[in-house]
Structure 1
Amino acid sequence: MIKVFEHGYIVMTVIFTVYSQLVMRWQVSAAGPLPVDMSGKIGYVLNLILNPWVLSGIFATFLAGVSWMLAMTKFEISYAYPFVSLNYILVLAAGFLLFNESINAAKLAGSALVILGVIVIAKG
């Protein structure tokens, strides 16, 4: 039972990372195109950095780091790190569902290989 709880550190790393990526994508899309001039770019970035949603994403990235440190106290990196690749799968699925991004056969095949790889490493 303890190992199940300890895997929660890895799960939280993935959840916080995915949350951060999705919030950043959402808020950058909402902010519009990046200005061409340097002062416009600086204002664009400052505006994003002060956005509460972006701040929550930055905080989630921090929490992902904390969760990862806790995971490293319980697992070898060679075991734990492959689970982080599940970020790709979750962000791909969320991009499709939330942002109408495209998914094709190659992305699905690659995702299946990533999932299979994580299963093989977890069993090994």
Structure 2
Amino acid sequence: MGYLYIFGTVIFTVYGQLMLKWRIGKYGSLPDEVWDKIIFLLKLLLDPLVLSGFLSAFLAAMCWMAAMTKFDISYAYPFMSLSFMLVFILSIFWFNEPVTSFKVIGMLLVVSGIVVMSQSA
């Protein structure tokens, strides 16, 4: 059951990040003027999908607290790096973000680190 909590943390984190990026992209860039920034941010806060991203972050935190009852943090935390990998992969398809050799090498290093650190349990 503990791994399900870690999985929930990762999935809810990834969903929240992708949802916020997608919706913020629909509204454009942050304006320069202070009042316009406030209006811009209020519009974002009223967007139901932005709110779902915040709810997702809350659910990720709940899953993480549950995971902390099952594992040492030094064992569980490296699995959070999977969120970097999933955001990278999904952003390629969803946002047409570029794939570079440095990004791929970095992702492979992250995966290698997860494998190495998970062997200590």
The bucket for the TM-score relative to the shorter chain is over 0.9
Once residues 106 and 30 of structure 2 are traced to their aligned partners in structure 1, the CA distance between those partners, rounded to angstroms, is: 31
TM-score w.r.t. structure 2 length? 0.97
* Consecutive unaligned residues in structure 2, runs of 5 or more: none
Whether 1:118 and 2:110 are equivalent positions in the alignment is no
How many residues align structurally?
120
- Partner of 2:77: helix, strand, or coil? helix
Give how far 1:17 is off: 0.3
1:84-103 equivalent positions in 2, closer than 5 A: 84-103=80-99
1:1-124 equivalent positions in 2, closer than 5 A: 5-124=1-120
Deviations 1:47-81 (A, max 9, x none): 00110000000000000000000000000000000
Letter in structure 1 aligned against 2:40: Y
Q: After the TM superposition, list the runs of 4 or more consecutive aligned residues in structure 1 that deviate by more than 2 angstroms.
A: none
